[in-house]
Amino acid sequence: MFVRGRHLLLGVGGGISAYKSCDLIRRLQDNGFVVTVMPTKSSLNFVGAATWAALSGRKVYSDLWSDVEEVPHISLAKDSDAILIAPSTADLIARLAQGRADDLLTNVVLASTKPKILVPAMHPEMWLNPATVENIQTLQKRGFLIIEPDHGRMTGDDVGIGRYPKVDRIIDEVNAHLIRNADLIGKKILITAGGTREAIDAVRFIGNRSSGKQGFALAYAAAKRGAQVHLIAANTDLPIIEGITTTFVESADQMADVVNIEFPFSDALIMSAAVSDFKVTNRSDLKFHKNDLNTLDLELNPDIVSNVSASKKSTQVIIGFAAETESDLKNLLAAGKGKLSAKGVDLLYVNDVSHGQVFGSDETSGFLIARDGNVIDVPNISKDTLSEILLDQLSIALG
């Protein structure tokens, strides 16, 4: 299991309102979460595992003694960004307050260092019982966020506090609680990654050394910060990122088609792909044999980023990349500034690739140039860290 979007574990306690979490899961997905459901054994009396598997599109975890070789309580705790338990029953709350680990869900909670959010739902007598009140206070002291239940009609005839809250309120409170890490919620970000290939014949192409690592790192980081990401990947070997819409392309023309369609509906474009400047006009659908070909005729590809920047709205932000073989700092910055204005982008990351150390590597060094001439020096950092720095700037620019 490998999730790199915003990954939420949804624990489901054994209460009648478990069915309301079927709606909640959909709304969480609309908010950019990949959701893995962990129902308690007793909750399966109300909503079965098949329903959770169908709604989440993912494996459902409910049994401590299944998949033991995967050590699921540790891997689930580590791979998730937060745990939300809805509904949380009085018994489950009591077990959590005692730090017990007598089923899979309580094991995962105990093993997790991530934010934990409870949505209690029960009859008013149980919610107001001093035992539950004390358990809730204990959990709050330990940093659990408690989303207070609503007041209203219960399963029987009684009325009072303890109802499963409106899903809208749960979503608002979850987003607000996780907001520090989610400054890109509601933003649609288009990211290109990898290197385009231009066919020469049925077996050969003109390509480049881009691995796609930077674009994938950006997509991963943006999704974690709540953005709705559309990744356009050209010829990479990297594993797909669950929870992120990915379109696979090969050539510059194919990439241009997707960018042209998607850009008008996006808040930002990050053009980290290495795009081939030329394509072959005398290409063949069959294989060229040695004697068939003396010269390659080339024509210019569309300049994808320049084309979309010409029609960009003032609210949209574009980030470009420039890989130069220029080890002289002054010349490197001049090249970067020239490209920033020629391409009409808002920010440009320029780096020197003279010694071949950047392509395929996990590390990068360069300069981030803004339209106002401001330069941020980015020395020897990981592509993950560069992603966070670029997204910080993007977040500020998007306002």
**CB of residue 96 vs ligand CTP: minimum separation in angstroms?**
48
The amino acid occupying position 128 is L
- Tell which residue, 307, 232, 321, has the closest CA to residue 272: 321
Query: In this complex, which beta carbon is closest to ligand CTP, that of residue 34 or of residue 256?
Result: 256
190: tokens are 């288009």
Question: Binding residue for ligand CTP (CB under 6 A) from 61, 144, 220, 321?
Answer: 321
First to last CA, the chain: 35
Question: Binding residue for ligand CTP (CB under 6 A) from 86, 268, 304, 390?
Answer: 304
Instruction: Classify residue 389 by its DSSP letter.
Output: H
Q: What single string gives the DSSP state of each residue in 241-293?
A: -TTSEEEEE-SHHHHHHHHHHHGGG-SEEEE-SB--SEEETT--SSPPPGGG-
**CB of residue 361 vs ligand CTP: minimum separation in angstroms?**
18
Question: Binding residue for ligand CTP (CB under 6 A) from 63, 67, 79, 277?
Answer: 277
If one asks whether residue 234 binds ligand CTP (CB under 6 A), the answer comes out as no
CA separation for the pair 390, 351 (Å, rounded):
14
Residues in Cβ contact with 155 at an 8 Å cutoff, skipping those fewer than 6 apart: 16, 123
**CB of residue 252 vs ligand CTP: minimum separation in angstroms?**
6
**CB of residue 343 vs ligand CTP: minimum separation in angstroms?**
5
**CB of residue 107 vs ligand CTP: minimum separation in angstroms?**
46
The window from 24-32, 129-137, 316-324, 352-360 that contacts ligand CTP (CB under 6 A) reads 316-324
Question: Binding residue for ligand CTP (CB under 6 A) from 107, 135, 228, 301?
Answer: 301
If one asks whether residue 303 binds ligand CTP (CB under 6 A), the answer comes out as yes
Question: Binding residue for ligand CTP (CB under 6 A) from 234, 322, 358, 386?
Answer: 322
CA separation for the pair 257, 249 (Å, rounded):
10
CA separation for the pair 394, 232 (Å, rounded):
19
Enumerate residues 255-274 that contact ligand CTP by CB under 6 A.
271, 273
CA separation for the pair 397, 165 (Å, rounded):
35
65: tokens are 């003694």
The window from 31-39, 54-62, 223-231, 321-329 that contacts ligand CTP (CB under 6 A) reads 321-329
Query: In this complex, which beta carbon is closest to ligand CTP, that of residue 42 or of residue 260?
Result: 260
Helices (H), 64-160: 72-79, 90-97, 104-111, 124-128, 130-141
Reduced to 3 states (helix: H, G, I; strand: E, B; else coil), residue 8 is: strand
CA separation for the pair 234, 301 (Å, rounded):
15
Query: In this complex, which beta carbon is closest to ligand CTP, that of residue 47 or of residue 345?
Result: 345
Query: In this complex, which beta carbon is closest to ligand CTP, that of residue 77 or of residue 219?
Result: 219
- How many of the other CB atoms lie within 10 Å of CB of 329? 11
170: tokens are 């749960």
Q: Total number of residues binding ligand CTP (CB under 6 A)?
A: 15
**CB of residue 339 vs ligand CTP: minimum separation in angstroms?**
6
The yes-or-no answer on residue 175 being catalytic is: no
Q: Which of 208, 301, 307, 380 is catalytic?
A: 208
If one asks whether residue 343 binds ligand CTP (CB under 6 A), the answer comes out as yes
The amino acid occupying position 40 is T
If one asks whether residue 184 binds ligand CTP (CB under 6 A), the answer comes out as no
Supply the residues annotated as catalytic.
Answer: 208
Which residue ranges make up the site for ligand CTP (CB under 6 A)? 252, 271, 273, 275, 277, 301, 303-305, 320-323, 339, 343
